[in-house]
Amino acid sequence: MATRESAVRVGLVYPELLGTYGDRGNALVLVQRCRWRGIDAELVEVAAGEPIPDSLDVYLFGGGEDDPQNMAAAGLRDSRAAIERGWQGGGVVFAVCAGFQLIGHSYVAADGAVLEGIGLIDAVTNAGPSRLIGEVVVDPAPPLPRLTGFENHGGRTTLGSGVAPLGRVVSGGGNGDGSGTDGALAERLMGTYLHGPVLPRNPALADHVLRWVVGDLPPLDSTWEERLRAERIAAGTKTGLTKWWQDRMLARG
C-alpha cells in the first residue's frame, strides 16, 4: 500500500436531497475502513446548493424521492464539469438509485416529463408500471463476491451497448428493464439500485471502491460484517447462509 500525502476525501453529495434511504452509511463505512487501517480519511459533505468540488477522491450519490431528485439533478448539472474532472483525474463515482439514474442521460417520468442527468454513462431510465421493493441479491463479476441489498424504486434503467452492468440479478428487480442485471460498472465508477446501505452490507465491495483510490489494502477482520451479509443473502435466496457457512468451514480446513 502506497503512502498518501493527503487524507482520502470521501464526498457525500447533497445528503439532504439524496439521503432518503440511509445511503449516508456508504460514506461512513468508507471512512471507517480507511481509519481502521491507519489511512487518514475525512468525510466531506457537499450541501445542496453548494458547488461540487473537483478535488474529492470519492463522489457518493444516494437515493431520493422525486422532488428532491429533481432539485439534485439541477445542482449536478451545474457541477457536471467539476464532477467529470474529479472522476477523470482519479476520483471514484459511486451512485445509488436516484443517484445512479442521474449519472445517466435522463429519466422519463410516467407523464412524459424528462429529467436530464449528467451523462457520465450511457444509460436512460423510464418510469415503470410499478415499484420494485424488497431484498436483492446480485452476482457481480469476479473478484467481487455475491452482493446483497434492498431496493425501492419505480425506474427501469437501460444501459447502452458499451456499458457493463455491475452484476446479474439472482433475486429482486435490479435495473428492471428485462436484462436481469443491476447497476453499471466502468473505470472507477459504479451505479446500483442496492440500498441497505450497500457498502456496510458488503465489505468486499467497500474495499473494492477504496482500492480504486489507495491501491492495495491490508486485510481487515470482517467477520461480523460478513455474517450480516450472509443473513441478508439468506433472506433473499434462502441459501446464502448455508453457502457462507460451508465456505467458512472449507477455509478453516
- DSSP letter at 64 equals -
Which residues, at least 6 apart from 31, have a Cβ–Cβ distance to it below 8 Å? 8, 10, 41, 42, 43
| Ranges under pLDDT 50 in the chain | 239-244, 253
Catalytic member of 97, 105, 153, 208: 97
CATH number of 8-220: 3.40.50.880
Catalytic member of 34, 153, 195, 208: 195
Q: What is the pLDDT of residue 244?
A: 46
pLDDT tens figures, 194-253: 999 999 999 999 999 999 999 999 999 999 999 999 999 998 886 444 444 555 555 554
**Per-domain residue ranges of the chain:** 8-220
Q: What is the pLDDT of residue 247?
A: 53
d(CA 130, CA 127): 8
Q: What is the pLDDT of residue 240?
A: 44
In the numeric block, which cell numbers belong to residue 183?
A: 447497476
d(CA 14, CA 193): 18
Q: Is residue 34 among the annotated active site residues?
A: no
d(CA 156, CA 127): 6
Q: What is the pLDDT of residue 237?
A: 87
Which residues, at least 6 apart from 52, have a Cβ–Cβ distance to it below 8 Å? 11, 13, 46, 59, 75, 76, 79, 82, 83
Instruction: Residue count of the chain, please give it.
Output: 253
Q: What is the pLDDT of residue 74?
A: 97
- CA Rg, the chain, in Å? 17
Q: What is the pLDDT of residue 5?
A: 76
How far does Cα 20 stand from its chain's mean position? 14
